[in-house]
Amino acid sequence: MADQKSVNITWHEGAVTRDERQKLLNQKGVTVWMTGLSASGKSTIACILEQMLLHKGKSAYRLDGDNVRFGLNKDPKSLMEKSGYSEDAAKRFGVGFSTDDRMENIRRIGEVARLFADAGVIAITSFISPYRKDRDAVRAACKPGEFIEVYVNVSLEAAEARDPKGLYKKARAGELKGFTGIDDPYEAPVKPEIIIDTEATPAEKAAEQILAYLERGGYLVA
Ligand code: ADP
């Protein structure tokens, strides 16, 4: 039987490289990071982009509130302690909305997106991610060119008028504390790779704009 050392050597020689993964998928792994106010259109655009990529035979995966908050970032204790939410709200929302919780929320999402990108997948995240330093930390953890920041820009007035989930209404009524744009700041990106104004650009066109960026940047070939 081989000793432990030679087993390890065999393991390393057999390791699949990132290059091989990318060749297999005929694309480059990357994180497409959407940031913007609630109701700016991040999820809507992310869904369309994911579909467009899949129709082109590309592997893309969306990380959003639904598949992250209830699993990866489920942490009711932290939420209850730090944010003073009810137990019911804690159960529903997982990691809270305090500054520390938001930071940890974003850090974890960034790490998962990076792993997807490492596997050759186009990871699309759609989180408010309001703080510049949190987004910059995710960027810093990614290889150069593997973090594409998409600023989904909308005026607070327009976002509030859309209010698809009634969250602005609740925040204005004081039922939601620390709501971005109302009683918590949104720090717009300084140098995002892509800016989309969703008051002027329909969602489909916005997704096409991101797709065109990926094509131009050579992300859709190995
Ligand atoms: P977010 O993920 O940023 O919170 P959503 O995508 O969930 O935002 O909601 C945005 C709302 O705004 C949806 O109801 C969507 O139909 C609407 N909307 C109107 N115009 C646009 C646009 N140009 N791009 C994206 N969404 C838009």
Is the distance from CB of 125 to CB of 72 less than 8 angstroms? no
Q: Does domain 18-216 have CATH number 3.40.50.300?
A: yes
Nearest residue (by CA) to ligand 1, atom 1, is 39
Cα 142 to averaged position of ligand 1 atoms, centre (Å): 28
Cα 152 to averaged position of ligand 1 atoms, centre (Å): 10
Rounded to whole angstroms, the Cα distance separating 172 from 44 reads 24
Is the distance from CB of 148 to CB of 213 less than 8 angstroms? yes
pLDDT digits (tens, 9 = 90+) for 97-129: 666 777 888 999 999 999 999 999 999 999 999
Clarify whether 126 is annotated catalytic. Answer: yes
Residues near ligand 1 with C-beta < 6 Å? 36, 38-45, 126, 162, 164, 198, 201-203, 206
Q: How far is CA 56 from the centre of its chain?
A: 21
Is the distance from CB of 204 to CB of 48 less than 8 angstroms? yes
Nearest residue (by CA) to ligand 1, atom 24, is 203
**Using the 8-state DSSP alphabet, how is residue 1 labeled?**
-
SS3 per-residue string spanning 190-219: CCCCEEEECCCCCHHHHHHHHHHHHHHCCC
H or E segment and range at residue 34: strand 30-35
The ranges assigned to domains in the chain are 18-216
> In tens digits, what is the pLDDT along the chain, a chain of 222 residues?
445 556 565 656 668 888 999 999 999 999 999 999 999 999 999 999 999 999 999 999 999 977 787 777 776 455 444 444 455 555 555 455 666 777 888 999 999 999 999 999 999 999 999 999 999 999 999 999 999 999 999 999 999 999 999 999 999 999 888 899 999 899 999 999 999 999 999 999 999 999 999 999 999 999
Cα 18 to averaged position of ligand 1 atoms, centre (Å): 35
Q: Which of 86, 126, 129, 155 is catalytic?
A: 126
